[in-house]
Structure 1
Amino acid sequence: MTSPLTLVSENRSFGGWHRRYRHAATSTGCDMTFAVFLPPQAENGPVPVLYWLSGLTCTDENFMQKAGAHRVAAELGIAIVAPDTSPRGANVPGDPDGAWDFGHGAGFYVNATQAPWKAHYRMHDYVVHELLALVEANLPISPRRAISGHSMGGHGALVCALRNPGRYLSVSAFAPISNPMDCPWGHKALSRYLGEDREAWRAWDACELIAGAGERLPLLVDQGEADSFLAEQLKPDALARACAAAGHPLTLRRQPGYDHSYYFIASFIEEHLRHHAAALHG
Structure 2
Amino acid sequence: MLPGIIYFLIFKIWPMWGVLMAFQNYQPSLGMFSSDWVGFKHFDRLFHTPEFWTLFRNTFMLAFYSLVIYFPITIVLAVLLNEVRHEMFKRYVQTLVYVPHFLSWVVVAGITFLLLGSEGLINKWNEAIGSGRVDFLYSPDWFRPLIMLQIIWKDAGWGTIIFLAALAGVNVQLYEAARIDGASRLRMIWHITLPSIRSVIVILLILRLGHFLDLGFEQIYLMLNAINRGVGEVFDTYVYRVGIQQGQFSYSAAVGLFKSVIGLVLVWLANRLAKKFGEEGIY
User: What is the TM-score when the length of structure 1 is the normalising length?
Assistant: 0.27
Structure with larger Rg: 2
Q: Which structure is higher in strand share? A: 1
Q: Which structure is higher in helix share? A: 2
Structure with more contact order per residue of length (Cα contacts < 8 Å, sep ≥ 6): 2
